[in-house]
């Protein structure tokens, strides 16, 4: 048996420019960090000749099948086919956080699964190669309308400015920041679950149809990536970072009316009135986790305000996808 894990992520700036529909024409980038919440995959050999099935996969359901084609779970099925595995294997997935919450958990699962399968076969992939495979599987085999940042952050980990040129030409720029400043930065993060779960591919479909008319907005969102980098690496005020997050959230909402709703707007307004400098909904929109950026001394007030919501504690700069047991 072996166990792999890959991290989910928080994306601060540039989300939406990581879709090929945009970056193949204009270039895209995000400023994002992997966090210490993971998707795990266990893989073990299975003696199929002793049973009436050849493959066992489990997630919320358990599937016992004789052929790969019978697997209903698209990512399991396509990853197994992609890696050339058709029997004598048992796979299981667990995660620290639920799916469809804006943190890239679906791609973290894909990366973790591919990493586990390759290791099971005795194959080694570099982190970016793993990211490229996950992008290919999700976009071209599963045919989900997803961007490319989630797979990259899950595969390479860390706190990065990621530049997108093509689906297999992506540049990783590690954030040069001291451990002390990073810890201070983390103390400003306050993450609240809206209680709304949604599939990112469903939310983003309308946004992709409007890429042409939203080009100027997306370009502005790409410029915010560089500004966010400059704030963190230039020892500028964290208040500036919070204000920039607020601008990014306003820009994000202007892409499509389905990105926010009255309930989400109410949660955001509650955070701002409690003293947050800014914030944004994480992920494609319409639900998931809301990130606020606020002075640490105001976090007790935020805890009180959001006493009826789930609050997520997270560490940034988490490690890349890795094999943690074999």
Residue 98 in tokens: 């639920």
The tens digit of pLDDT for each residue in 273-318 reads 999 999 999 987 778 899 999 999 999 999 999 999 999 999 999 9
pLDDT at 202: 65
- Sign of the CA dihedral running 276, 202, 200, 139: negative
Under DSSP, the state recorded for 194 is: -
What's residue 201's pLDDT?
Answer: 61
- pLDDT at position 258 is 81
CA distances 130 to 155, 184, 326, Å, are 6, 32, 19
pLDDT for res 165? 97
Nearest to 70 by CA among 82, 83, 57: 57
Can you give 14-51 as a three-state secondary structure string? Answer: CCCCCCHHHHHHHCEEEEEEEEEEEEEEEEEECCHHHC
| pLDDT in the model for residue 99 | 84
Residues in the chain, pLDDT under 70: 198-203
Q: Domains in the chain and their CATH numbers?
A: 2-175+317-325 (3.30.230.10), 179-312 (3.30.70.890)
pLDDT given for residue 286 in this prediction: 74
pTM given for the model:
0.96
pLDDT of residue 239: 98
């Amino acid at each position: 048996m072996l166990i792999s894990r890959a991290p989910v992520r928080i994306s601060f700036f540039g989300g939406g420019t990581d879709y090929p529909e945009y970056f193949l024409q204009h270039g895209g980038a995000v400023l994002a960090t992997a966090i210490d919440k993971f998707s795990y995959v266990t893989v073990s050999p299975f003696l199929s000749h002793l049973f009436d099935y050849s493959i066992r996969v489990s997630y919320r359901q358990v599937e016992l099948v004789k052929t790969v084609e019978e697997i209903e779970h698209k990512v399991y099925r396509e990853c197994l086919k992609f890696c050339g595995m058709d029997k004598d294997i048992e796979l299981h997935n667990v995660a620290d956080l639920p799916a469809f919450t804006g943190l890239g958990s679906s791609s973290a699962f894909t990366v973790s699964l591919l990493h586990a399968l390759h290791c099971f076969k005795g194959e080694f992939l570099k982190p970016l190669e793993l990211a490229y495979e996950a992008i290919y599987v999700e976009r071209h085999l599963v045919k989900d309308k997803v961007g490319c940042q989630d797979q990259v952050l899950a595969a390479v980990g860390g706190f990065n400015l990621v530049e997108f040129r093509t689906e297999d030409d992506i540049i990783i720029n590690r954030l040069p920041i001291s451990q002390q400043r990073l810890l201070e930065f983390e103390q400003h993060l306050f993450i609240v679950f809206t209680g709304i779960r949604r599939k990112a591919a469903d939310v983003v479909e309308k946004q992709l149809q409007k890429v042409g008319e939203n080009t100027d907005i997306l370009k502005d969102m790409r410029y915010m990536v560089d500004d966010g980098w400059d704030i963190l690496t230039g020892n500028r005020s964290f208040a500036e970072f919070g204000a920039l997050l607020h601008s990014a959230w306003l820009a994000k909402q202007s892409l499509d009316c389905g990105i926010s709703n009255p309930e989400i707007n109410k949660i955001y307004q509650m955070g701002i009135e409690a003293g947050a400098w800014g914030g944004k909904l994480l992920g494609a929109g319409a639900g998931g986790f809301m990130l606020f950026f606020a002075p640490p001394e105001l976090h007790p007030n935020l805890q009180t305000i959001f006493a009826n919501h789930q609050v997520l504690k997270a560490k940034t700069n988490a490690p890349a996808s890795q094999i943690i047991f074999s």
